[in-house]
Amino acid sequence: MKNQELPITGYLDRFSHRPGERFSAHVSLRDPGAYRARLVRVIGGDANPAGPGLRLADLSHVFARELQGRRQAIRLGSHGIVDHGPVRAAGAACTWTALVWTAIPQSGGTVLAEEGGGAAVALAVGAAGACASLAWPGGAVRVETAVPLQPRRWYRLWLSADPATGRVVVGQRALGDDAAVAVPADAPGISLPSGGVVLFAAEHAVEPRGHFTGKIEDPAIIPGFHATWPEALVMPDGGALAAWDFADGIGSQSVTDTGPQGCHGRLVNLPTRAVVGARWSGREMCWRHAPRDYAAIHFHDDDLDDCGWEADFDWTVPDDLPSGAYALHLSCAGGEDWLPLYVLPRRAGPFAKVAFLASTFTYQAYANHARGNADAAYLERAQAWGAYPHNPDQYPIYGRSTYNRHSDNSGIAFSSRRRPVLTMRPGFMTFNDPRGSGLRHYPADTHLLAWMEAKGIAFDVITDEDLDDEGPALLAPYRVVLTGSHPEYHTANTLDALQAHTQHGGRLCYLGGNGFYWRIARDRDRPHMIELRRAEGGIRAWAAEPGEYYHQIDGQYGGLWRRNRRPPQMLAGVGFSGQGRFEGTYYRRLPASFDPAFAWMFAGVDGDTIGDYGLSGGGAAGFELDRADPVLGTPPQTVILARSENPPASFVTVPEELLSHLATVTGEPPAELMRGEIVYFDTPSGGAVFAVGSITFCGSLWREGPDGGGFTGPVSRLLENVVRRFSGES
């Protein structure tokens, strides 16, 4: 299953472009042959027959092409490469060495390798400890220490070879141990590489393999033969032919050689830097203040930066194509796939009054989240509904999400959009939801798009990435900005832009839950990547190691925006407070909702309860809930209009609200913090914010009825009242 591939799939150069700009499509077919590409407009992405439907409008008249496809390989695994290693005298003795840490020594992998002139050496880790292999014209030898490495402990490994005597030794010494383990071997006639390619965490430069999962620090090639090693952290006298200092350029993808020949290198597939090394003292938690404490790189056998596929075709967005959600539909004899994209309005307009902010950073953070839930019942429902038939559980070849872990149980801190993203497809089901459709993120947000389409609300689409790149100017044309159901991941730039929008007269509708929660970093040289450090606090799929809370990309403290003194309440009035399974209940209106100053929002809404139905977990107030909190920044003029009731038994209070199992930050009983709140506040500049405090809210825009379903009911009416008032239509 590990190498299973889709019949046809691909990715785009980016998620969004404007009219006149060009998308590049990178496509791979499992079995080379003919395929067709055409444009569709994504109106609805819910395949549930009880919902608004999977609605993809054919736009073949705008773009359609018949093409010939080929298979393009994905090469997982991070490593380092030096194109030209150190040159030394033929026949001279030489030693390869590095400091090594691994949580899974039994899995093996090459730590340091060199090849050139027909000869190759590799220093590796295996189930039997440090091992080495040497090959030259006419001969080969392999030797190992036969003493397994202990997990999560630093070791000095070395390999020495002397062509003059034919002696070879491989050794290991744990930090703090009094003695080294060294095993000799004879290799008569041996010759060594010189001036060739050097690799870290892999071997074989043409097609790297044997990837090592673990940390490497201070790899070096030094002159002379060393039968033993007196102290693990000390290098022998005599200088080095090449010594790579991983503490230099931690925020980059280059590696620096401090040796006399300047054999600098580069990293492939974005291994994790800014990690504690063998010399970490604990005196500094930020790598910028003590880089030598962070002189290690954590390589993984499943890292993926950019698939690196060649572009198969380009498509220029027509000048008259309206802003919206689209996809390129790919089909071949073996199957089909969709590559979602967004078209922004032209820079000069015209603009709609309403903008939908697609949560592309969140889509990317969850990209290919393997949940282990693609069981027979899930697959049976997907087939019965005609939903997207593939699940990341089945296709690890396309890389995992920041909600998964590497093979050594460390968390995945990076996510790329330059790869097939199966979770970002029309009709993809996250859950086999017994009360609804089980949609999250990209397909769940089409509930809102389909609702606006049905209500005749004109809107433009913009994305997180565009907002991070362009800032407040991107929002300036719009009276109101709508988020999707889960705008969880943000940069400082995106939060600044949204805050500026509301502070300068703009309106914001926050239509989800658990939003504006995690801080991420982006690299302008690699805009397709995001980085996440799951630092102290929060509901986390994994926890960053102590000392590894600062991003390598920008050097800033990661984790929750709340831990960065920027809680969601400061922007949206509400912030994450309770979570449970994918199920929901309802809101009950509070007295403020009947006040004449706010009753306009509830015109046409009958009764006190709102949203006791829905396509997302069966209720509008569910899964992840947000509440107001003045201490965390909810503006004093905020009005709480409705509050969720009766959270399901699966719900818990989020850990950042708890001081102990009994005490909370606010002093309220833990159970009382498991609530979602609909709030409203005006800003002094004439702006306003409306927030619903629940991930499942947009799933209740659609309501089933005795005569069929439709975008009717209290949730739909409430949102329509707000959007039309905010946009100036009423």
Say what the pTM is: 0.97
Count structural domains, the chain.
2
Question: How far is the C-alpha of 607 from the C-alpha of 595, rounded, in Å?
Answer: 15
Question: How far is the C-alpha of 339 from the C-alpha of 329, rounded, in Å?
Answer: 7
At residue 707, the pLDDT reads 65
Coil vs helix vs strand at 451: helix
At residue 255, the pLDDT reads 98
Q: Which residues, including other chains, have CB under 8 Å from residue 669's CB and lie 6 or more apart?
A: none
* 61 falls within a domain: no
* 36 falls within a domain: no
Q: Which two tokens stand for residue 433?
A: 């939801």
CA distances from 342 to 21, 365, 426 (A): 12, 18, 13
* 412 falls within a domain: yes
Q: Which two tokens stand for residue 96?
A: 């390869």
* 211 falls within a domain: yes
CA distances from 372 to 76, 304, 391, 392, 395 (A): 21, 21, 9, 9, 12
Q: Which residues, including other chains, have CB under 8 Å from residue 476's CB and lie 6 or more apart?
A: none
Q: Kindly state whether residues 338 and 217 are assigned to the same domain.
A: no
Which of 246, 264, 299 represents a domain boundary (last residue)? 299
Question: How far is the C-alpha of 82 from the C-alpha of 75, rounded, in Å?
Answer: 18
CA distances from 544 to 247, 276, 637, 657 (A): 19, 11, 37, 20
Which of 247, 265, 299 represents a domain boundary (last residue)? 299
* 312 falls within a domain: no
Q: Kindly state whether residues 636 and 491 are assigned to the same domain.
A: yes
Residue with tokens 């880790």: 125
Q: Which two tokens stand for residue 7?
A: 């019949």
E strand or H helix that includes residue 405? none
Q: Kindly state whether residues 291 and 440 are assigned to the same domain.
A: no
Report which of 468, 330, 324, 464 is spatially closest to residue 19, judged by C-alpha positions: 324
Coil vs helix vs strand at 223: strand
Question: How far is the C-alpha of 230 from the C-alpha of 641, rounded, in Å?
Answer: 71
Question: How far is the C-alpha of 411 from the C-alpha of 422, rounded, in Å?
Answer: 20
Q: Kindly state whether residues 283 and 379 are assigned to the same domain.
A: no
At residue 662, the pLDDT reads 87
Question: How far is the C-alpha of 418 from the C-alpha of 435, rounded, in Å?
Answer: 34
Angle (nearest 5°) at CA 303 between 8 and 110 = 120
* 29 falls within a domain: no
Q: Kindly state whether residues 270 and 351 are assigned to the same domain.
A: no
Cis omega (within 30 of 0) on the bond before 350?
A: yes
Question: How far is the C-alpha of 115 from the C-alpha of 122, rounded, in Å?
Answer: 9
Which mean pLDDT values do the consecutive 10-residue runs of the chain (730 residues) have? 87 98 98 98 97 97 98 97 95 97 96 96 97 96 97 98 97 93 95 96 96 98 95 91 98 97 98 98 96 98 97 98 98 98 97 98 98 97 97 97 98 98 98 97 98 98 98 98 98 98 98 98 95 93 97 97 97 98 98 97 96 97 98 97 97 94 91 96 97 98 82 97 93
Q: Say which CATH number the domain at 193 has.
A: 2.60.120.200
Q: Which residues, including other chains, have CB under 8 Å from residue 359's CB and lie 6 or more apart?
A: 441, 445, 464, 483, 484, 486, 487, 488, 489
Q: Kindly state whether residues 261 and 366 are assigned to the same domain.
A: no
Task: Write the Ramachandran bin of 57: left for phi over 0, alpha for psi from -120 to 50, otherwise beta.
Answer: beta
* Beta partners for residue 643, in sequence order: 588, 677
Q: Kindly state whether residues 387 and 278 are assigned to the same domain.
A: no
Angle (nearest 5°) at CA 489 between 486 and 493 = 125
At residue 536, the pLDDT reads 87
Which of 299, 315, 344 represents a domain boundary (last residue)? 299
At residue 706, the pLDDT reads 66
Indicate the pairing of strand 54-58 with strand 22-29. Answer: unpaired
Question: How far is the C-alpha of 132 from the C-alpha of 217, rounded, in Å?
Answer: 18
Q: Kindly state whether residues 348 and 295 are assigned to the same domain.
A: no
Q: Spell 378-391 as b/e; 16+ CB within 10 A means b.
A: bbebbeebebbbbb
Angle (nearest 5°) at CA 81 between 533 and 280 = 45
Answer whether 611's CB lies under 8 Å from 586's CB: yes
Q: Kindly state whether residues 398 and 440 are assigned to the same domain.
A: yes
Helices 441-455, 714-726: axis angle to 10 degrees equals 70
At residue 1, the pLDDT reads 52
Domain limits at 236? 79-299
* 40 falls within a domain: no
Q: Kindly state whether residues 499 and 625 are assigned to the same domain.
A: yes
Residue with tokens 């959270």: 647
Q: What value does the CA radius of gyration of the chain take, rounded to a whole number of Å?
A: 28
CA distances from 250 to 83, 294, 299 (A): 20, 8, 14
Q: Kindly state whether residues 490 and 630 are assigned to the same domain.
A: yes
* 17 falls within a domain: no
CA distances from 198 to 8, 50, 158, 485 (A): 35, 59, 15, 48
Q: Which two tokens stand for residue 229?
A: 């090693």
At residue 295, the pLDDT reads 98
Q: Kindly state whether residues 560 and 685 are assigned to the same domain.
A: yes
